[in-house]
Amino acid sequence: MEHSELLVDWSRAQFALTALYHWLFVPLTLGLTFIVAIMETIYVKTGDPKWKTTTKYWMGLLAINFAIGLATGIIMEFEFGTNWSNYSWIVGDIFGAPLAIEGLMAFFMESTFFAVMFFGWNKVSKKMHLLSTWLVAIGSNLSALWILVANGWMQHPVGMHFNPDTARNEMENFWEVFLNPNAVSKFLHTISSGYVLASLFVIGISAWYLLKKRDTQFARRSIIVASSFGLITSIFLLTTGDESAHQVALNQPMKLAAMEGLYEGEKRAGIVAFGVLNEAKEIGDDAEEFLFSFKIPGALSFLGYHDLNAFVPGINDIVYGNKKHNIISVEEKMKQGKLAIAALSEYKTAKKNHDMPRAQKALEVFEANQKYMGYGYLNDPKDAVPDVSLSFYSFHTMVGLGTWFLVLFIISLYYSMTNEMHNKKWLLYVALFTIPMGYVAQEAGWIVAEVGRQPWAIQDLLPVGMAASNVARTSVMITFWLFAILFTGLLIAEVKIMLKQIKIGPEGH
């Protein structure tokens, strides 16, 4: 059932709002749990009470972030039932499974041992407390695993079949869904980005203490741990980013083209190191793609296909087709999709009337065209193109900042190991003001992932317009603003509480 564009847009805006706010809390939890576990391991190994103080301080900031982050995550899962009920009906058998596992296994483990970790310092042995801390870190990352398995399936649906009798996609192979290469690369890239953000957070806060000339020993220890952890995970982030781009090239070529503002496909395609898009550029016209740009020759072909000479299709190739490279046009896919939709309707009508020969014939037509059924709901071939500007600038913001973070970790580790960090005021200020840049990179990455696959709720299978609930637009608008106020309030509360605890410092924590 089709819905009004305004209803769909408000539903998308509400979910985007919830997701973007939720992701302000999650990555810090993913990374800070491991940093805290590393610090406590050092304490248990050395017996140095200073490391206990350091561990408890960062654990306190982790607890604040963890508690407030829960609210947005729970609301986001409920929105699948309120605003996206058609989506939940069509793919609930598949999408719901990893979310259920996340709740039953990872979240309960994380929550249970979090209580022991936070309140059990004088109630359990050192080793038991350390085990609890590591289990919280593992549990939080397992939560991310199952959620990203679900998201990875949306980006590249596998391991299922469509049941024409129920008009639902049903899971056929759980392990194919779980080991989906897109989900694996997305999980590894996402958690490693969380580790990087947490490292930036610890270095930046520690830099503030050095600038204030207080708790300097604590700050130096924290910077050594965080910069080491950040350097290792930044290198890992680059490798997982390479694999993520490869998966995008294989399964979501339109997203890759939008990420690079590539309209005309080419061999030895270059990556835009820096450029400004021509906003007047339209699909199919002869206007230049960029007002100016600097490209690294062959890099996009290598990044996407691990072959310097590979052909990378552009937006025009995907929309209008390219016979030379066996690319079917969106218009042809739309025709096949409409045949599939009509055949499915015919099949259900024939079965209802017990006309089995007619039903069988309709089923054969449906199965022959089913692959592109989702395209049958599009109204124009150009609807298959995401927002190019938002995808392009978000992607390059993420990559540029990620490169800077790697450099910062190297410099911070060097000066902290040589005991010169406290004398480099310029570096301390840079580290402090890089904290918000870490969040910008996080949000930019998710914008690339989600905006880049539009108009699809499930890649090539279900457009967003068909996934939305048939509810009153006013209800969605009201809850959008209520959530905006609530989430903003939670964010302000977290920042105020954290700033208060930071000013108190580790000794008075």
Band of residue 83 on the pLDDT scale cut at 50, 70, 90: confident
Q: What is the mean pLDDT of residues 77-88?
A: 84
Q: Which residues contact 337 (CB under 8 A, 6 or more apart)?
A: 369, 372, 373, 374, 375, 376, 377, 378
pLDDT of residue 1: 45
**Can you give the pLDDT at residue 72?**
75
- pLDDT (mean) for 64-73: 78
- What pLDDT score was predicted for residue 246? 92
Instruction: For residue range 212-222, list pLDDT tens digits in order.
Output: 999 999 999 99
Q: Which of 102-111, 412-421, 425-434 has the lowest mean pLDDT?
A: 102-111
| Exposure b/e, 176-205, CB count within 10 A at least 16 = b | ebbebbbbbbbbbbbbbbbbbbbbbbbbbb
State the pLDDT at residue 2.
47
pLDDT value at residue 401: 96
Confidence label for 3 from pLDDT (cuts 50, 70 and 90): low
Q: What share of the chain is helix, strand, coil (3-state, %, to 5)?
A: 75, 5, 20
170 beta partners: 161
pLDDT for the residue 330: 95
pLDDT at 446: 92
Task: Find the range with the poorest average confidence among 47-51, 102-106, 158-162, 285-289.
Answer: 102-106
The rounded percent of the chain whose pLDDT value lies above 70 is 99
pLDDT confidence band for 109 (50 / 70 / 90): confident
Is the pTM higher than 0.75? The answer reads: yes
**Residue 103: is its pLDDT beyond 90?**
no
